[in-house]
Amino acid sequence: MNLRSLLVFVCTIGLSLHQSFGQITEAPRVEEQSAEYVKIKRVELTDKYTVIYLQFADKGTQPGFSLPPELQDGYFPKNKPDAGSIWLDPDTRLFKPGEINVKFKLIRAENIPTEHTKKVSPGEKVDFVAYFERLSPGIEVFDFYEGRSKPGTTSWNFYGIHIKNPAKKALNKANVTTKTPVPAKKALPAKKETVVPEKPDAVKKEEEEMIVMVKGTVYNARTKEPVSARISYVEKGDTLQVSSSSGNYRIGIDAKEKYELRVAAKGYYGTGAEITALDSAGKINLTKDFYLIPLAVGETISLPNIYFETSQFTLLPESAAELNQLVQMMKNNPEIGIRIEGHTDNVGDADKNIELSRKRAQSVKEFLTKKGIDEKRIEAKGYGATRPLVKSGSEEERRKNRRVEFVITEI
């Protein structure tokens, strides 16, 4: 065998081994992740497993490194340098994005516990490996989903992991030279009525706990550029938060529950939205983008969830969430001054409408001052029906004109 033939032979053997043991992706690209201090170093696809090599790196191990805000305070209590702990949830799954039912279970983990926690010291690095069921050929982007973070903890979720995992090539029918004779079909006996057995309890539980992925981007409403933001929501009495430096976020929610998302970003007025799985019209993933208005002099910001008694200026309890957000913005930005503006539709006496809108604006001001905001920072003014958003024709259009806004007058 000459040298050239030997090289061809060796390459052929190497290629066959590579195909047999699967694909390896070093430092795969990850679109979004919930914890900066854990990274995926490598993904290896074998005949049986999807093997993910990860590294936990405690704060202080690299320049500019910091834990997320929810873990910075008290993560390592004073005088207890070994008080930090890590573990991998045994219910961690790999998902094909957009197809929550295409999932791959965790089989085992090495160098990290799944049934209890492992203590780590400040500055420590931990390399660990997670073995999952083999990803189906052709899935070259997947999500690593450990779960929803609980107070005091952060789940390690990675979204949009890009790997090499090509689909199997179809057989070349042109190379088939012989045909196997097809035996004659025999008459089949009449079908008997079959009884569908009840689903196992494990399957029922999995369906009851089905998670729907909510994703989206937080934008600057003026420039349409993504902004770093924090998304918070309440689940079973616990307030949970997700921070995103890129503006992109993903949250796993219970398919049967209703959630109120609140979005905040430094230098912007926050907003919120009610989310339920039913909003997806049967789709697995929900997409919800948010647009935040920057805090700048002259900006007019609507307060859509403020309610009054009919034809009165008494605030209803349903207004509390919106008003408390305004209070928090004023406390976080003590240099800001605002003008509360009340507006009505054009039904009724014009002078009475102006007076009603002024009193409603004044009611909002009084709410803020009772919460500790200096009244010198707040002006209240009523415009009645003189500044409509739309022509007051239908009831829906009149409802849009009945509103409360605030204008930033100084900053």
Beta bridge partners of 409: none
Which of 162, 190, 217 marks a domain boundary?
162
Confirm whether 198 is domain-assigned. Answer: no
Which of 253, 278, 294 marks a domain boundary?
294
Strands (E), 195-311: 211-220, 229-235, 238-244, 248-254, 258-264, 268-269, 271-276, 286-287, 290-294, 300-302
Residues 281 and 339 in one domain: no
Query: Which pLDDT score is estimated for 137?
Result: 93
- Tokens, residue 349: 């006496």
Token pair 């008003």 in the structure block, residue: 323
Confirm whether 188 is domain-assigned. Answer: no
Confirm whether 7 is domain-assigned. Answer: no
Confirm whether 15 is domain-assigned. Answer: no
Query: Which pLDDT score is estimated for 351?
Result: 92
Residues 280 and 351 in one domain: no
Confirm whether 184 is domain-assigned. Answer: no
> Is the model's pTM score more than 0.85?
no
Query: Which pLDDT score is estimated for 283?
Result: 54
Query: Which pLDDT score is estimated for 79?
Result: 32
Confirm whether 95 is domain-assigned. Answer: yes
CA gap 134, 126 in Å, rounded: 24
CATH number, residue 213: 2.60.40.1120
Which of 162, 193, 224 marks a domain boundary?
162
Please count the other Cβ atoms lying within 10 Å of the Cβ belonging to residue 105: 12
Residues 154 and 108 in one domain: yes
Instruction: Count how many Cα atoms sit within 13 Å of the Cα of residue 240 in the half-sphere of its side chain.
Output: 22
Residues 323 and 285 in one domain: no
Residues 122 and 223 in one domain: no
Residues 117 and 152 in one domain: yes
Contact call for residues 219 and 225 (beta carbons, < 8 A): yes
Query: Which pLDDT score is estimated for 69?
Result: 43
Residues 125 and 107 in one domain: yes
Residues 239 and 141 in one domain: no
Residues 231 and 260 in one domain: yes
CATH number, residue 138: 2.60.40
Confirm whether 63 is domain-assigned. Answer: yes
Confirm whether 397 is domain-assigned. Answer: yes
Domain count, the chain: 3
Residues 268 and 243 in one domain: yes
Instruction: Provide the phi-psi class of 147: left if phi over 0, else alpha when psi is between -120 and 50, else beta.
Output: left
CA gap 70, 50 in Å, rounded: 31
Query: Which pLDDT score is estimated for 218?
Result: 95
Range of the domain at 219: 209-294
Instruction: Output the tens digit of pLDDT for each of the chain's 411 residues.
Output: 555 555 545 555 454 444 444 589 999 999 888 788 899 999 999 999 999 999 998 765 444 334 344 333 333 333 333 447 899 999 999 988 767 678 899 999 999 999 999 999 888 999 999 999 999 999 999 999 887 666 667 788 888 899 999 987 644 444 444 455 555 555 555 555 555 555 555 444 444 456 777 889 999 999 999 999 988 887 776 777 788 888 988 887 777 788 888 899 989 999 988 887 665 555 556 788 999 999 999 999 999 889 998 889 999 999 998 999 899 999 999 999 999 999 998 888 999 999 999 999 999 999 999 999 999 999 999 999 899 888 867 888 888 889 999 999 998
CA-closest candidate to residue 215, choices 289, 297, 141, 314: 289
Query: Which pLDDT score is estimated for 190?
Result: 55
- What are the DSSP calls for 12-73, one per residue? HHHHHHHHHH--EEES--EEEES-TTEEEEEEEE-SSEEEEEEEEE-TTSSTT----HHHHT
Query: Which pLDDT score is estimated for 268?
Result: 93
Contact call for residues 142 and 157 (beta carbons, < 8 A): no
Q: Cα(first)–Cα(last) distance of the chain, in Å?
A: 83
Token pair 């002006």 in the structure block, residue: 379
Residues 272 and 333 in one domain: no
Residues 55 and 156 in one domain: yes
Our measurement of the distance from residue 90's CA atom to the centroid of its chain's CA atoms, rounded to an integer in Å, reads: 21
